[in-house]
A and B are shown apart, each in its own frame.
Chain A
Amino acid sequence: MLRIGKTTNLLLALILLLTVAVTGCSSGKQQGATSGQGEKKEQGSAAGEKFPTKPISFIIPYAAGGGSDVAARLIAQLSEKPLGQSIVPTNVEGGASATGLTQLATAKNDGYTIATCTSTIAALKPQGRMPYSSQDYEPVIGYQANTYAVGVPKNSPFKTIEEFIDYAKKNPGKLNVGVSSIGSNIHLSAVALEMETGIKLNFVPDPGGAAKGILELAGGNLDAAIGGPNEFFSQIQAGNVRLLAVMSDKRNEAFPDVPTFKEKGINLEFMTIRFILAPKGTPEERIKILHDAFKKGMEDPKFKEYIKSSGSDEFYQDYKSAKEYMKKQDDYYYKLLEKANLLKKK
């Protein structure tokens, strides 16, 4: 009754094999990240011991294919050689990176589990989306910065950022400005713009990111949009959109004609940084070994090329200064979230 043809048997075996193989690529290397859960945290071993002796598990708390995923996978790939061990990326997405970062916080602090994060980490705890703040981790390195720009349609009456701000001052809440979802970095950068200039804008958020806002901007359906300079790129080339100002500390290489807010005398500098983190209590000598390897990865021409082509800014903070930097960032984000009325109500 249960006789199955040879072909069927073979097929079945093949399918099962393929399933395991294919899922193995994306999820098989999970153990490193989760094996520490529930175990007692222990300090790494004495100095001078060889590290690393096995592959490093690298949590990417975002979906495969996004900007943070691409950057993290690239730096992991380039840092494997200097480290002398493979670095295995795993995407653990959910909760705007809270799921993956929570997993890191509870992982074993032996240096074999690390994760990438963005400045978003500063917005999670105050909003009640994660019990950990940046100070509950050990930063390894800050490796990349992204900034945002304010764009307007080609036929917009605003030729400069001053004109834009003047109009917004006289007409509070009147200008429709496309941002990504509320509480995201792009939205908070817009809140920072409001805070520093005392204007009020009407935000039109899209949870899919800045892309839709920029498209609607190009079609003349919005007064302005905020997004990464590279996201505006093709529409600027096509002549549909102009940039008024960028929020970085110096002008963007791809747009040398666009002034910074600082140049215009507006005290606005907003950059989101990508860091690599280790669990709290990871031994400093191991952090240093990891840091040195990632530093070498950063110096690879391929990474520099990527920074340029993705419209990002070069950025570097070593493991010592990064902690202080993140603390300052936490405080600034707290102020922004307070202004946007997004703090978790107690």
Chain B
Amino acid sequence: MLEHLVAAAGSVFSPLGLLLMFLGSLIGTIVGALPGLTATMAVAILLPITFGVPVDLAIMLMLGIYCGAMNGGTVSAVLVNVPGTPAAIMTGLDGYAMAQRGEGGKAIGIAAIGSFYGGIFSNIILIIFAPILAAVALKFAAPEYFALAFFGLVSIATSTTKSPVKGAVSVFLGLLISVIGLDPVTGVDRFSFDNPEMMSGLNFVPVMIGLYGLGEVLMQVHQSEYGRKITQQIKGLLPTWQELKGLHGIFLRSSVIGTIIGALPGEGATIAAFMAYTDARQNSKHPEKFGTGVIEGVASCETANNAVTGGSLIPTLTLGIPGSGTMAVMMGAFMMHNVIPGPMLFKEQPELVYSIFMSLAVNNVFMLIIGLAGARVFARMISIPMNMLLPIITALCIVGSFAVTNTYFSVLTMIVFGILGYLMRVFEFPTAPMVIGVVLGPLAEVSLRRSLLMSHGSLAIFFTRPGSLAIFLLTAIYFSWPFLKRLLARKPDEVVA
């Protein structure tokens, strides 16, 4: 084992290796910060270039991009409330509110530290528990995925909104949007109006850019006076040690959530961030403050979405099944270099596995440096006057949505959802539940119908399988816990009264 470790360290800490990883983190941060450009895209475009490069160097570069993009998405979410990547949607809730108070730098700093924590945590878990977690993931089938999606959808009702009714309306709107396109199980046309581009469903990224980017721009125009600056002053550039100490519990719990969600094949950073946010809110002493710019809100989702990076390597490396979209592309890169990810990889090429682990750790360090150094610089961007910033964001929205599929249909989708996002803001409907509805809708629908196909129509499948039964029970306990706690606490009072 030791000789493999030394050999791996030799390539990871070589000048070329370090340079590639730093470049990767930098490219990733930029790509992540620009809405519409995703890590998956950047990795895919770089893929043919890596044919001539040794496999370990290629992987270092790609992991750098992957980690960097997770962090970059935060910057635009915090500063202008336009998430650069879907995983940063929840970050915008509190991060943007902080930026409006002049604490944008602090939000970005906390995000960078949280990401570092999550990244290193999941990396350690990956090294120790990968084979065990892989065995658990293998037990996950459609019924368990449905239970998970159900948990996500139910929890929307309790989070991100003051009015549960408006939250529910928003969720259902999102679910309705997610059914557009050919039915995944029968192939029947749904709401596509014979438009071939709508038959494959609405692409999620333009929807998000519209709701958050253009919708926010329109809302700012609606509210603003000419030349007003978003914030008057910049204060509290970096989080203090005291603040970080208070966040320790959130860092840990969110890391666990992110790693577990990442380890489930196909699940992603968006869902992990959402779940960590819900969890932090649920366990907070002041849940009502979430959404108004609390550091816990930023810390939870950023820690979780970066913990997914290590987590999603688990199914990729141990099962040969990609844990996320980016991982699917990276697996292609492995195969192209004649490396077959799967249970045998650890036995046959331990050197490569160790260099992956190590480069992931190094990439997390780079990401922390770029994030903290960038926090000071990026935070200054907020002093750009509105009448200059809004047109720039609008241009970014158009370019970004076009870049997703290279069609004008995406731009049209973005504009339609931009107007919808504006109307929702005017009438004070929360947008996050709608986006979560769009993300979880297909997962919930497909896994529900797959489960029922497996059981030949019997609903019992959800309760006879230990996995899904456990998740449903946990969901019930989790959401009744605040009430249970109050009941238990109230009892002595009642006796006195």
Contact = CB atoms under 8 A, between A and B. Distances in A.
B406 A237 contact: no
B182 interface: yes
A215 B265 contact: yes
A4 B384 contact: yes
A302 B51 contact: yes
A182 interface: yes
Given A91-B405, A183-B182, A237-B340, A219 B138 contact: yes
B40 interface: yes
B31 A237 contact: no
Contacts of B137: 215
Interface string A1-25: 1101101100110001011001101
A16 B196 contact: no
A205 B185 contact: yes
A114 B5 CA distance: 47
A22 B142 contact: no
A12 to B, nearest CB: 7
A221 B451 CA distance: 10
B336 A70 contact: yes
B235 interface: no
A206 interface: yes
Interface stretch (B269-277, B319-327, B477-485): B319-327
Contacts of B343: 234, 237-238
A211 B396 CA distance: 35
Interface stretch (A41-49, A93-101, A323-331): A93-101
Contacts of A99: 196-197, 405, 407, 409
Interface in B380-417: 380-381, 383-385, 388, 392, 396, 399-400, 402-403, 405-407, 409
A197 interface: no
A59 to B, nearest CB: 9
A212 interface: yes
B311 to A, nearest CB: 16
Given A8-B380, A234-B343, A237-B340, A211 B321 contact: yes
A238 B342 contact: yes
**Which of B380, B442, B454 is most buried by chain A, counting CB atoms within 10 A of its CB?**
B454
Interface of A: 1-2, 4-5, 7-8, 11-12, 16, 18-19, 22-23, 25-27, 30, 63-67, 69-70, 73-74, 77, 90-96, 98-99, 102, 127-130, 176, 181-183, 202-208, 211-212, 214-216, 218-219, 221-222, 230, 233-235, 237-238, 240, 302, 305-306, 309-310, 340, 342
In the complex, the 7 A-B pairs of residues with the closest C-beta atoms, listed nearest first: A234-B342, A234-B320, A64-B44, A65-B329, A65-B44, A238-B343, A182-B187
Interface of B: 30-31, 34, 36-37, 40-41, 43-45, 47-48, 51, 137-142, 182-187, 194, 196-197, 199-200, 203, 227, 265-266, 319-322, 325, 328-329, 332, 335-338, 340-344, 377, 380-381, 383-385, 388, 392, 396, 399-400, 402-403, 405-407, 409, 442, 446, 450, 453-454, 456
